[in-house]
Chains A and B, each alone.
Chain A
Amino acid sequence: MTAPLDVSGQAMEAQPEAVLEGAGGKAIEGRSLGRIAWIRLKRDKAAILGAFIVVFLTLVAIFAERPFGGLIALFGDDPNIPNNDLIDPLTSAPMGAWGGISLEHPFGLEPVNGRDLFARVLSGAQISLLVAFLATLLSVVIGSLMGVLAGFFGGWVDTLISRLMDIFLAFPLLLFAIAIVGALPDEALGLSGNALRIAVIVFIIGFFSWPYIARIVRGQTLSLREREFVDAARSLGAGNGYIIFREMLPNLVAPILVYATLLIPTNILFEAALSFLGVGVSEPQASWGGMLTRAVDYYQIAPHFMIVPGLAIFITVMAFNLLGDGLRDALDPRAR
């Protein structure tokens, strides 16, 4: 069992400690598990910082373009429109200091064509977060279901699902993704262009990372199903479905939430890697990995072009990790 993520049922029940913690407050009162976790989370400054950044980035991504707003329109240019007037034709680098950073172009300009980096970073954030969230959602749904089934039924079902997980975990995911996306036709499944590419990337990442969730969930389920409340429910005549969905799943929410939060940054990095290797979304749609690839040719004359998307990836991944770690600590005090 993976110890750090072992957010077990016992922990959830650690009422005495929670009560003790609460003792410093005004009055001793019953508190829900969620409330206790929230109190702990609030004390974790790093996690709160991470949460702020995550919320901020998510809002920025949602409101970057119309119809939900127009941050890009407010602060910069269209991400795909070149500004050749602002590029020094002799060096291909943006004119002005620091890669052409100005009020109109707060992050500077792309070398050669002068596209606005602020707009492109925001536009890239949409892609990164969209892919990461959807892929995580997919793997959480599959992973939770498979994990519960394996843990709850045991026997041949467990054997089958566990071997399946081993196979999926052994799969060379990156190579597979490159091969699939690289060989993708322009239109399939009623989708075309970048919509199709995003759908396929989401599917590949989500479909191949469910075993990570499933393993955690299976372990939790194995210990939960031997617990008294399960026996009680069973002796009252509850069926398997009721036990799984009404008794087990609520107790599994915490580890699933923690792991999902930690899976998102992994998926962001995976999407960036695919774009960096040229098999992510295609131009002119901006993506952080794609910008980094371009930047390699110009890092000496326009270092900001590499720093800006690099920082975007770094900050986003770090924020999600801080939040995920904080959540884990809050939901499972034993794991500190």
Chain B
Amino acid sequence: MRKTNVLALAALGTVLTMGLAACGGTAGGGGNTSSGNNNSSTGGGDASAAKHNDAYTKVVNPSDAKGGTLKFALTDEPDSMDPGNTYYAWNWNFSRLYSRPLMTYTPKPGPEGLKLVPDLAEAPGEVSADGKTWTYKLKKGIKYDDGTEVKATDVKYAIARSNFTDELTDGPKYFAQYLDAGDYKGPYKDKNLDDFKGIETPDDYTVVFKLKAPFSEFDFLVANPQSAPVPQAKDTGVDYEKAVASTGPYKFESYEVGKQLNLVRNPNWDQATDTTRKQLPDRIEVQFKQNAEDIDNRLIAGQIHVDLGGTGLQPAGRAKVVSNPQLKDSTDNPFTPFNRYAMMSTKVAPFDNIDCRKAVQYAIDKTATQAPWGGPLGGDIGTTAMTPTTVGYKPFDLYPNGADHKGDLAKAKEALTACGHPDGFSTNVAVRGDRTKEVQVAEALQASLARVGIKLTIKKYPSGDWSAQYAGKPDFVHKNNLGIMIAGWGSDWPSGFGFLSQIVDGRAIKPSGNYNMMELNDPSINELLDKGIQTADAAQRNEIWAQVDQKVMESAAFTSFVYEKTLIFRPASLTDAYVHSAWGMYDYTWLGVKQ
């Protein structure tokens, strides 16, 4: 995934147990804050009796009261507010306020939220016998904010522009990859939409997708905001973000790029056609490019309602919140879609020997590598390639390294002896130098491997060219002896395939822009991935993803530091707030404010 904040979705089945376990874990963790808070205080005296992580399992401050202004703030600015041209997870959540894709996720906290429900479509896609044709029927009577009706060709056009043009570069290009569109040049070069053969629109309410090969998770793809309709006449290319034709409960009032976005109610949105959204506030205001610490302070003071990015409190804000039980009850600690991990290059000596890789697996002090992410609030220690919020995830640990994951040095030494370097060896660890947390992880790794004589030299590379020029370029990796590379991955949709296909498939190894940095090319893994995506039955499919995970970990080339979590703040003035598992953030389409 190219952007850090890529959307990823959390998992269906396993989330239930994991989610609960996670909540229990952090709640327990709250008890042993060393900062000396006795939990005796504040019994239930505060106005909202909501507790830490409550919004993770239920709706906090449920309310249908309308009115008020909901205020968001973001440290950055978006790549684009155009639903077809954005790859930020928060924007795949936020853009639903003014755009409706064919499918979306169930508006419920917990694992229920990962189930898909039809949004613009009447029902989930109907797949043909050969698995290569997916048909969606549109709901009738859905209108844009100017009152005109949504047509099937608008969906077709939206996908054509977001996936087949050189102008819109920010979003993923899955449709270009999977649709059987020949050498279609995109609607900006080829004005005749009929030349786009990947999608057919037999009538105004039917969209038919033609795929190159069977792809049983296609419903996940059309839950991506790129399937939200765009009228061809209104499209202005990259500038479309300034005046998006809204199908959701809100529409653009004004948008100053990089500064401020104001949304107001869309009178042409009809609750009767929409089962997932609400329309509580009168206005929604977003401020861009705000100072991160300032955002935390304003959140805690109740001056704004949501940190739009959903990436959590800064260290100072976090320290303030965890040491105050009352403030802590206003936070939630959800999983993000990200796994933070290291890959060991199977093509760089001595890691071409599996026992040398195993030595690293046993010698790592994972408590130390967890600390830079923010300790237990920043993530659970990981032992698998898939995250707990991925469909198919099964917990297992092939390289148990001590009670607190602090390392099993005896086993590490054994593995070192087996690989022919009983006294250790020297290698390099590559890291994105401008990412403090990852550099700190590299330092912790360095210190923990030094205990068994593995000497690491930290090599810092700029994150901008990280995948094009450095760790993502096998030639460079071999030439510079980059034995270990520190990276992270979040999937675009919450299945094993969405998560694993780019990082473990041997055929995905590329001369540049490579994410399978360990260069793992195991035919049995490749076959399983193919078999899985062609398996129509979801349960069987998920079983296959778990097998892939198992095989990846057997290679010992992949070691997870944490399944990332964030600590997000929920001011008391926020109503109807719950953490949506698909985004690991509050459901932005539900939120209201107390007057």
CB-contacts of A268-303 with B (<8 A): 278, 282-284, 294, 297-298, 300-301
User: Are B365 and A84 in contact, with the CB atoms below 8 A?
Assistant: yes
Q: In the bound complex, do residue A301 and residue B439 qualify as a contact, i.e. CB atoms below 8 Å apart?
A: no
The CA-CA distance from A88 to B378 in the complex, in Å, is 13
Residue pair B443, A87 in contact (C-beta under 8 Å): no
Residue B421, interface by CB 8 Å = no
- Known interface pairs A113-B368, A113-B444, A300-B315. Does A90 touch B377 (Cβ–Cβ under 8 Å)? yes
Residues of chain B from 287 to 332 with CB closer than 8 A to chain A in the complex: 293, 315-316, 318-319, 322-323
In the complex, are the beta carbons of B315 and A284 less than 8 A apart? no
> A84-B371, A282-B460 are known contacts. Are A89 and B29 too (CB-CB below 8 A)?
yes
Whether A82 contacts B368 by the Cβ 8 Å rule is yes
B34 at the binding interface (Cβ < 8 Å): yes
Q: Identify whether the interface residues of B are mostly helix, strand, loop, or mixed.
A: helix
A-contacting residues, B367-388, CB 8 Å: 367-368, 370-372, 374-377
B446 at the interface (CB under 8 A from A): yes
Q: A95-B34, A282-B460 are in contact. Are A90 and B375 (CB under 8 A)?
A: yes
Q: Which of B30, B293, B370, B436 has the most CB of A within 10 A?
A: B436
Chain A, residues 240-265, CB within 8 Å of chain B (1/0): the string is 00000000000000000000000000
Closest residue of A by beta carbon distance from B328: A90
Closest 10 CB pairs of A and B: A89-B375, A300-B316, A91-B319, A301-B319, A90-B322, A88-B34, A95-B34, A84-B368, A82-B368, A84-B367
Q: Would you give the shortest CB distance from B369 to chain A, in whole angstroms? A: 10
A117 to chain B, nearest CB (A): 15
Tell whether, in the assembled complex, residue B35 and residue A91 are in contact, meaning their CB atoms are under 8 Å apart.
yes
Report how far A112 CA is from B372 CA in the complex, Å. Answer: 6
Interface size on A, residues (CB 8 A): 26
Q: Is B457 an interface residue (CB 8 A)?
A: yes
Contact B447 A80 (CB under 8 A): yes
Near A by CB (< 8 A), chain B positions 412-461 give 433, 436, 439-440, 442-444, 446-447, 450, 457-460
How far is A248 from B290 in the complex, measured between Cα atoms in Å?
63
Give B448 Cβ to nearest chain A Cβ, in Å.
8
A sample of 17 more A-B contacts (CB under 8 A), given A91-B322, A284-B447, is A82-B368, A82-B443, A82-B444, A84-B365, A84-B367, A87-B375, A88-B33, A89-B376, A90-B33, A90-B34, A91-B35, A186-B457, A282-B460, A284-B446, A284-B458, A298-B316, A301-B319
Is A92 among interface residues, defined by CB-CB distance under 8 A?
yes
Q: Which chain B residues numbered 23 to 47 have a C-beta less than 8 Å away from chain A?
A: 29-30, 33-35
Closest B-chain residue to A301, C-beta based? B319
**A113 to B368 alpha-carbon distance, docked (Å):** 7
Contact A298 B315 (CB under 8 A): yes
What is the 8 Å Cβ interface bit string for chain B, positions 137-156, against chain A (1 contact, 0 not)?
00000000000000000000
Say how far A189's CB is from chain B's closest CB, in angstroms. 18
Residue picked from A91, A186, A297, most chain B C-beta under 10 Å:
A91
- Which one of A91, A95, A300 contacts B323 once the chains associate, using CB atoms below 8 Å? A91
A92 and B368 form a contact (CB under 8 A): no
Interface residue A37 (Cβ < 8 Å from any Cβ of B): no
- Are A90 and B443 in contact, CB atoms less than 8 angstroms apart? no
Interface of chain A residues 208 through 229 with chain B (CB within 8 A): none
Cβ contact within 8 Å between A193 and B35? no
Is A93 on the interface with B (CB-CB < 8 A)? yes
Q: How far apart are A72's CB and chain B's nearest CB, in angstroms? A: 16
Cβ-based interface call for A81 (8 A)? yes
* B436–A92 touching, CB < 8 Å: no
Q: Which residues of A contact B293 (CB under 8 A)?
A: 300
In the docked arrangement, what's the CA distance between A93 and B319, Å?
8
B443 close to A283 (CB less than 8 A): yes
Nearest chain A CB to B387 CB, angstrom units: 20
18 contacts between A and B (CB under 8 A): A80-B446, A80-B447, A87-B371, A88-B33, A88-B35, A90-B29, A90-B376, A91-B315, A91-B318, A111-B315, A112-B371, A113-B372, A113-B440, A193-B457, A282-B460, A283-B442, A284-B447, A301-B319
Give the CA-CA distance A315 to B341 in the complex, in Å: 41
CB neighbours (8 Å) of B377 from chain A are 89-90
Asked if A92 and B371 sit within 8 Å, CB to CB, the answer is: yes
**In the complex, what residues of A have CB within 8 A of residue B367's CB?**
84
Residues of B within 8 A of A294 (CB): 436
Which residue of chain B is the closest to A85 with respect to CB atoms?
A: B367
CA distance A262 to B323 in the complex (A): 47
Contacting pair B447 A82 (CB below 8 A): yes
Q: What's the minimum C-beta distance from B485 to chain A, rounded to whole angstroms?
A: 16
Query: Which residue of B30, B34, B439, B457 has the most chain A CB atoms within 10 A of its CB atom?
Result: B34
| CB pair A283 B439 closer than 8 Å | yes
Q: Which of A75-129 contact B (CB under 8 A)?
A: 80-82, 84, 87-93, 95, 111-113
Q: Please, how many angstroms separate the alpha-carbon atoms of A241 and B466 in the complex?
A: 57
Bound CA–CA A24/B223 (angstroms): 96
A284 to B442, CA, bound (A): 10
CA A81 – CA B375 in complex, angstroms?
Answer: 18
Interface centre among B319, B372, B376, B439 (most CB of A within 10 A): B319
